[in-house]
Structure 1
Amino acid sequence: MAGALILATGLVVAALAILRNDEDPAGAGVGAAPEMEHIHGIGVDPGDGAVYAGTHYGLFRIADGSATRVAEVQDYMGFTVAGPGHFLAGGHPGQGQGGPSSVGLIESTDGGETWETLSLSGEADFHALEYRHDRVYGLNSMTGQLLTSTDKQSWEEVSSAEIADFAVGPDDPDVLVATTQQGLTRSTDGGATFAIVESAPVLLFVSWADDGALAGVTPDGVVYTAEEPDGGWTERARLEGQPEALAIDSATEVYAAANGTVLASTDGGATFSPLLDQ
């Protein structure tokens, strides 16, 4: 599969999380007092504004300073919000669960409480997912392919470029940005080809809000924002610890995860504060 060093950084962190604790850290299932281990994805439910974190040990809902595990324990390697209470994910089954080692594309329409397998079970391990323009875009870590689907069942390979993360433009389904070892890249043909964005820093994760604002974080935790992929990128805050996930909801609201902590910014990434009460 794609061997970018950027992607390898995330895999090393995940492996260390497994070695540190190979049991359920909360000691129980849904609703247990959670202790989040390695966060793979962040999303905001547009229905109620709650923040969700897909982690190595389940999906967590974060609201009012506390977190609740809302789904059975499994490894949500890729996670995205498709609509109010509507989530898509990929990853691996939890301890003691049957089935293939990768779950393919799974879907929840009840806020993450229950999940249904839709396609590619045992064939895809999505490490990045996005739902936009009535399409699913997914990065299959098993093959390095960037895939798209309009029905969540049949898939088309659009690229096998070595990318670590990607984001889809809010105005055009064929415009994407992707992070690579060489730097941020941009595509205008649905991901078939990418060109380096010379003005952008080297980023680990990237996210694109509905209002057009962009955010990215470097491998060493520096957050940047921009109004256009090839415009000026402004340095913002520096996260403490290894960055694990990033999501921008608007030009003012940015969410990030580092060292198992979910952080929120309401000033466009200039400052971040933990979402969970200490």
Structure 2
Amino acid sequence: MQVFAGRRRSIRQARRLMAALCMSTRELPRPALHAIAYTCALSGALLLGACGDDPAGDELAQPPSPPGHVARDPGSQVEPEVLHVQLPLLPMTLYLTAVQPFKAQPDSQVEAHQYCAEVDAQLWQCIVFDRPAADARLLGTRYIASPLLYESLPAEERALWHPLNYEILSGLLAAPQLADAAELSLMERLLNHYAQSWYLPEAEDSVHPPPRMAWSFNRNGEADPELLRRYAEATGIDFSERARRRAALVARAEPQVGVDALAAHDFGRQTRPLEGVAERDDASTTSGQRRENGDESDSRRQ
């Protein structure tokens, strides 16, 4: 549990830093605000690696070569100092895409192009952009936590995490750079996980609003059909085909907290539940809790 305590501190520190930086820069011009936004998100990523209590986090936080030295590729035109600056981004090799609503304003929805690094077996950290392009705008950060890590968090912290099962089973969450079999294996691994997303709105008239917490869709029909159409055209992602390939995962999906968080909102269109996605009641026991209690009798995890 010492590792989990370190992860909780890291997440809280990253969020406080993001909020503090953004709230303290309201009077800066727009270019400076955009630079601060980048710093906010990158600082969140660095804090998770640098402040953790486990060897995996420390390894990601340190350059792979001796301190102060960066080997230069003979064919590279980039100076070693530039490569050194880029080192925190190098582990972020996993590219994920999804569409997310904001929890306080579910009709406000965005594409989320995530570049992620695995900190350890319990946690991923991602920086998020609005599109996969050189001129993409940085949105913020996303963390993905295992059920075991999620259950170790205090109640007030768990309230900030949204469930991932709908994104996985609906085909909305994708890793387009992976082969089909590799993507399916990743989604099986991420099943029953939770995520936390904080996005920075664009500055208006030199005023930068505070970060906004994003959520996950949990019913068919909640996502804006036009946004999904544009998203599918831009990425080439076939949601229904991905959902079909992941149908076998439904039997392993567990009820999750937060599925009904947006149920009372009127999206202006019919919504319907997706098989395998259900709200968890207080009496439910997750596989993460069973493993924490030393009960390995869950045959689905064998």
Smaller-chain TM-score bracket: under 0.3
Q: Which has the higher helix share?
A: 2
Taking CA–CA contacts closer than 8 Å with sequence separation of 6 or more, which of the two structures ends up with the larger relative contact order?
2
Structure 1 or 2, whichever has the larger Rg, is 2
Q: What is the TM-score of this pair, normalised by structure 2?
A: 0.22
Q: Which has the higher strand share?
A: 1
